[in-house]
Structure 1
Amino acid sequence: MTEICLVRHGETLWNRESRLQGSKDVPLSEAGIEQARIAADQLSKETWDVLYSSDLSRAKQTAEHVNEQLKVTHFIEPGLRERNYGILEGMTRAEIDAQYPGALSDPTQHQIPGLETYEELRQRIKKSVESIAKRHDGKRILIVTHGGSINAFLHAITGKRAERIGNTAITRVRFDNARWYVDCINDCSHLNVN
C-alpha cells in the first residue's frame, strides 16, 4: 500500500485578500511561512520517503520549509499546479462577481479566456498523483500542492467534493495500484496547538 499525504500550501497575501491566485506565482506571507513551520513540526513526527511539490512558489516554499526537518529528496512536479483561471486571476471574488456574475459557480455562463475547465483539472491532478504513487510503490509520499488541486483530486477518486481546504491542511490517502482509500481530509489540528 502506498501512503500519500497531501498538504495545502501556507497562506499568501492574496489568500487574505480573497484574490483568485490560480496559476499566478504568489509567494507565502509571513503567516504562511509560520504555518509551514508548524506543519513541518507535525509532519516530522513521521517517516517520509520522498517529497513532491507544485512548481508555484507558495507550494514550493511550503515544501522547502517542511523539508528543513524531513531532509528527503524533493521533486518539483508542474502537474500539481492549481487550476488556471485565465483572466480571472488576480481579481477579488467581489470583482469577479461584478464583472462575470456566476463565473465561479458556473464558468459555462461566460467565455473566460485561459480558463482550465474543472474536468481538465480533475484529470490532470489525478494523473499526476497516480504517476507519483506508481513511481514510489509501497512508500510514504508527501505532496505539497493547492486547495483546488486537492479538492479536484478527492472528487476524482471519490466522486465527492470536500469543503474548502485550509492552509497547510493535511489530507491522507492510500493507493493499492487499483483503488484509492481516503483516511482523513482537511486536518488543520496542528495549527490549533499552543
Structure 2
Amino acid sequence: MITTELLLVRHGQARCNVAGIVGGPRTCTGLTDQGRIEIQLAADRIAAEYPGTPHITTVYTGPRLRLRQSAEILAHTLKVPVVVEPGLDGPIHGDADGRTWREITANFRGHPQAHPDRPWAASSDTWNNFLSRATAFLAELLSRVASQRILVAAHGETVIAAHSLLLSLPLGSPVRFTVDHASLTRWQHQHNRFGHESWWLDCHNDTSHLDMRRHGARGGRSTPCSEGQTTDVKEQTG
C-alpha cells in the first residue's frame, strides 16, 4: 500500500538557462515562453493522472522566480494553493549570481559537485552544505505532511537532494542524475502486509508529456512513470 507520494517537477526552461548564466535570487528573471508551455504540459499530465481523491492539495515550491512561476501554473491547473518554502530554495551562489556557468566552471574546474567541500565562488555554498540543508528540509517536509500526495515545483538540485535522502547516499557521492526541465520524478512510500516500510523510486526524469508534444506519441529517452523502474544518469545544474 502506498502511504505517501512525493512528486517533484523541475521548473520549466528559464531565461537564465538559455543565457547560460547562474540564476540566483538576484538575477533570476523567470521562465521563457517555452518553459511556460513545458510546465503547462506537466500540469495537464498530473491533472489527468490524479483526477479524484486522494488528490493533491498544495503545490510546494521555493522562493526563486522561475520556481514560483512554475508552481503558479501547476496550482492554477490543479486548482490548489501555492506554499513557498524557503527550504526549497536552490544553492546559494554568492558572487557567482549573474555570471556565466562557463566562467564559473572554468575557474572551479567543474560543476559544484566536482569539489563538494569547496565553495564555487566567494560567499557561495559548497555542494555538501547545500545538500545537507536541502535533505534536512525534505526530511522535515515528508514528516510534516506524511500520508499525503506531495507536489513540489523544484530546482534540479532539489531533485538530486531527494534522491540523496531517500537512497541514503553519502555526502560527496560521485553518483550523478540528469534532471530535465519540466520532468517528473516520483517517489512512493510503501507499507506491505508484513509491516515492512520502504521508499520506492517509481520514475525519474520522466518527460514523456513533453515528448508527446514533440513527436505526437509517447517516447524519448526518459522512463515513463508507473513502471517501477529506475535510471542511473548524470547531473545537470540549475
2-structure distance, mates of 1:48, 1:109: 38
Counting only pairs closer than 5 Å after superposition, residues 20-169 of structure 1 correspond to structure 2 as: 20-24=22-26, 25-45=28-48, 46=50, 47-98=55-106, 100-102=107-109, 104=111, 105-106=114-115, 112-158=121-167, 159=169, 161-169=175-183
Specify the SS of the correspondent of 2:56.
coil
Residues 23, 181 of structure 1: alpha-carbon distance in 2 compared, 3 angstrom cutoff: farther
1-structure distance, mates of 2:64, 2:137: 15
Deviant stretches of 4+, over 6 Å = none
Higher RCO (C-alpha 8 Å, min separation 6): 1
Specify the SS of the correspondent of 1:193.
helix
Q: CA RMSD in A?
A: 2.3
Alignment deviations for residues 57-115 of structure 1 (CA, whole Å, 9 cap, x no partner): 111111111111111232110100111122122222322244x1415232656773221
- 1:125 CA drift (Å): 1.6
2-structure distance, mates of 1:107, 1:113: 15
1-structure distance, mates of 2:84, 2:109: 34
Instruction: Report the structure number with the largest CA radius of gyration.
Output: 2
Give, as a single letter, the amino acid of the residue that structure 2 aligns with 1:155: S
- 1:35 CA drift (Å): 1.0
> What's 2:217 paired with?
none
Question: What stretches of structure 2 of length at least 5 have no aligned partner?
Answer: 192-196, 214-238
Between the aligned residues of both structures, percent identity stands at: 27
1-structure distance, mates of 2:160, 2:120: 24
1-structure distance, mates of 2:44, 2:190: 28
2-structure distance, mates of 1:179, 1:77: 26
Residues 17, 62 of structure 1: alpha-carbon distance in 2 compared, 3 angstrom cutoff: same
Q: Are 2:213 and 1:183 aligned?
A: no
